[in-house]
Amino acid sequence: MSGTRFAPSGPLRGSLRPPSDKSISHRAALIAAMGEGETEVRGYLDAADTRSTLHAVEEIGAGLSGGGPSGVAPAIRIEGTGLREPTSARVDVGNAGTLLRLLPGWLAGQGEGHWTLDGDESIRRRPVDRIAVPLREMGARLRASGDRLPPLEIEGAALHGIAYEMPIASAQVKSCLLFAGLLAEGETRVIEPLPSRDHTERMLAAAGADVRREGDAIVIRPAESLEPQSIDIPADISSAAFFLAAAVLVPGSEIALEEVGTNPTRTGLLTILERMGAAIEREDEREVGGEPIASLRVRSAPLRATEVGGAEIPLAIDELPLVALAACFAEGTTFIRDAEELRRKESDRIETVTATLRALGGNVEPTADGMAIEGTGGLRGGAIDSHGDHRIAMLGAVAGLASKQGVEVLGMDAAAVSYPGFEADLGSLLAS
């Protein structure tokens, strides 16, 4: 298999709007499918993961029209089945962990019906016991392989509300239980050990659900129905993150990334890069569809090492690979701690990030819950394998631009899971 080569580059310049937010797109399709009538979603992400969610909602009876290329372009319209009407189905979730964890929350509380969720090779390694345990406590009937992994089988059942203290800070588990709470008898209370992304809470409240935060708990009460709405999806800070990192690392760069979601539960990378010495300006700040957005202007900067752990981890969970990359260019040794969850992503990201950076000349030591990365003044370059993980593929590309000799990425096609136009967009920032 031949790879895709990313040569050392000159400065990145210009501006673009990164693709729409993946987390919010998944939720928009699911919440629209639960609605009574037609929801319009503007800027739905057109990528492999979010296509899986559209197929899933069609399989269970929602109607779909419109559609088009990614970005802010044409709206899709989703005709909901109503909260209590999804039809039995086998659902292929593809590579989408968010779909795998969120959808069962809605299905488990159906009085009747039978659903099977399965996906690709990577999805079969993603644990579902984290949702099965609390859902069963609510009365759900679920079966998983070895009680832990997909395929996941769900038989509709009557649910009752519980108070559940999550052992891990996971927005996927939280969202699953909030969906289940819409159909459960009584109140469902989800207690988070640390705040995680809160898109589900915002979107359910906008659809008329009785959901509120009480300290470290999110409390939801059952709903008769959800109101269809129009939903606007901002650009994904997790996709913008690759260009942010590239611009910080390649000397002389200055770029602007437009309409990026800046929900404080997602902006950990900005805080971390700023602490390392980067200057990231927020311009044109406003709110779209209940979410804060801004244009992010960033320039290259010399970096110093930092320590990342605790409450910062869930706020930067998908960007921690880029923190490790940036740390290779920083002065001193960076420590990432409390991030054992990285082992349960599309790949074991403690292993794949370590292998990637070492292959390019980095000095990285993996630990049980993170990494220690010694800054070595940059990276030599070389060849890496994406391991089928979209974020490792794009990390390799950014490393290539900032490296001395360039990077060849095997399996660059994995980027299509969240960002099919990644190479073209990167090219446009190099050509400007």
Cite the active site residues.
318
Minimal distance, residue 368 CB to ligand S3P, in Å: 17
Among 17, 42, 51, 197, binds ligand S3P (CB under 6 A): 197
Would you give the DSSP letter of residue 19? P
Task: Give 341 or 413: the residue with its C-beta nearer to ligand S3P.
Answer: 341
Minimal distance, residue 318 CB to ligand S3P, in Å: 5
Among 9, 25, 81, 172, binds ligand S3P (CB under 6 A): 172
Residue pair 25/430 in contact by the 8 Å Cβ criterion: no
Residue 13 to residue 146: CA distance in whole angstroms:
50
Residue pair 62/32 in contact by the 8 Å Cβ criterion: yes
122 touching ligand S3P, by CB under 6 A: no
**Which of the stretches 2-10, 168-176, 370-378, 401-409 binds ligand S3P when contact is defined by CB under 6 A?**
168-176
317 touching ligand S3P, by CB under 6 A: yes
Among 53, 98, 253, 267, binds ligand S3P (CB under 6 A): 98
Minimal distance, residue 123 CB to ligand S3P, in Å: 13
Minimal distance, residue 138 CB to ligand S3P, in Å: 19
Task: Give 96 or 303: the residue with its C-beta nearer to ligand S3P.
Answer: 96
Minimal distance, residue 343 CB to ligand S3P, in Å: 12
- Take residue 227 and report the two structure tokens written for it: 């109101």
CA triple 408-370-176, angle to 5 deg: 95
Task: Give 128 or 402: the residue with its C-beta nearer to ligand S3P.
Answer: 128
Residue 150 to residue 53: CA distance in whole angstroms:
16
- Take residue 91 and report the two structure tokens written for it: 């659902």
Residue 154 to residue 133: CA distance in whole angstroms:
13
Residue 73 to residue 104: CA distance in whole angstroms:
30
Report strand pairing: 382-385 vs 407-410: parallel
Buried b (16+ CB within 10 A) or exposed e, 181-205: bbbbeeebbbebebbbbbbbbbbbb
Helix or strand holding residue 206 (H, E): helix 199-206
Residue 106, classified by CB atoms within 10 Å of its CB into exposed (0-12), middle (13-18) or buried (19+), is buried
What mask of x and - would describe binding to ligand S3P in positions 27 to 46, judged by CB under 6 A?
--------------------
Residue pair 314/169 in contact by the 8 Å Cβ criterion: yes
341 touching ligand S3P, by CB under 6 A: yes
Task: Give 79 or 236: the residue with its C-beta nearer to ligand S3P.
Answer: 236
- Position of tokens 């950014």? 398
Residue (of 28, 24, 88) closest to 59 by Cα position = 88
Binding residues among 251-310 for ligand S3P as defined by CB under 6 A: none
Minimal distance, residue 214 CB to ligand S3P, in Å: 21
364 touching ligand S3P, by CB under 6 A: no
- Grouping H, G, I as helix, E, B as strand and the rest as coil, residue 345 is coil
Residue 304 to residue 326: CA distance in whole angstroms:
9
Residue 336 to residue 342: CA distance in whole angstroms:
11
Q: End-to-end distance of the chain based on CA atoms, in angstroms? A: 31
**Which of the stretches 10-18, 55-63, 171-179, 260-268 binds ligand S3P when contact is defined by CB under 6 A?**
171-179
Size of the site for ligand S3P (CB under 6 A): 11
Phi (first) and psi of residue 354, to 5 degrees: -60, -50
Minimal distance, residue 253 CB to ligand S3P, in Å: 26
Minimal distance, residue 22 CB to ligand S3P, in Å: 7
- Grouping H, G, I as helix, E, B as strand and the rest as coil, residue 53 is helix
23 touching ligand S3P, by CB under 6 A: yes
- Take residue 210 and report the two structure tokens written for it: 């009785």
Minimal distance, residue 2 CB to ligand S3P, in Å: 29
Task: Give 238 or 295: the residue with its C-beta nearer to ligand S3P.
Answer: 238
Task: Give 4 or 196: the residue with its C-beta nearer to ligand S3P.
Answer: 196
> Length of the chain, please?
432
Question: Using CB under 6 A as the criterion, which residues of the chain lie in contact with ligand S3P when the complex forms?
Answer: 23, 98, 170-172, 175, 196-197, 317-318, 341
